[in-house]
Amino acid sequence: MSFINTDDLVVLGAGSEWFWTALSGIALVVTFLAIYRQLRLQQTQMRETTKVLRSQAHYNAEMLGQRPLEMLIDDKDLADVVTTGYSAPGSLSEADWFRCSNYMFLQVNAWEYFYYQSRDNSIPKELWVGANAYFRDLVSASFGVTRPGMARFWSEYREAFDEPFRGYVDAEFAKRPTAPESQPKAEPAPTDA
């Protein structure tokens, strides 16, 4: 009794089972190597694409953060309105408060963008740390009190932002008391001489 029938065994050639088995094995190895190579190439492409996307997110964040500052540099009247709006929002006309609050909305939108990009690790940590410090400084004036204009803005516009960013900004406002609104500069009274 034999376990392997070797009668009419052809080791090489067209009629050989061993030949066709070896050939299909080689085909599988080549297929696996091709798939492995393709996956490696895709991994490299994904890394490069991620770098490009991070670079674009960084650029977008910078532009969102800088645009409101460019507006102030370009428009002295807007700069005066915003400066007054931070410290004495009640002294602004309705139209000027509208301009000021829309300017602040642009700033807080930029802060929100930085916040979410940081959470997604889409921008460098160092960029978030610097931007967050800048925006937190907008909330607080000197001596750790909240700027009255920012407090008014946030009370009117906070619903335009969703969680978790809204809660984050609420916590920043909660850290400081609101400063009393400063009085607008009075014009000197004319004197009769």
Q: What is the pTM of this model?
A: 0.67
Judged by DSSP in three states, 177 sits in coil
Q: Could you read off the pLDDT tens digit of each residue along the chain, which spans 193 residues?
A: 556 556 666 556 666 677 778 889 999 999 999 999 999 999 989 988 888 887 788 788 888 888 888 998 999 999 999 999 998 999 999 999 999 999 999 999 999 999 999 999 888 899 999 999 999 888 876 555 678 899 999 999 999 999 999 999 999 888 877 767 765 554 544 555 4
176: left (phi over 0), alpha (psi -120 to 50) or beta: beta
Distance of alpha carbon 103 from alpha carbon 78, whole angstroms: 9
180-184-190-191 Cα dihedral, nearest 10 degrees: 30
**Residue partners of 65: CB distance under 8 A and separation at least 6:** 110, 114, 131, 134
Distance of alpha carbon 138 from alpha carbon 78, whole angstroms: 17
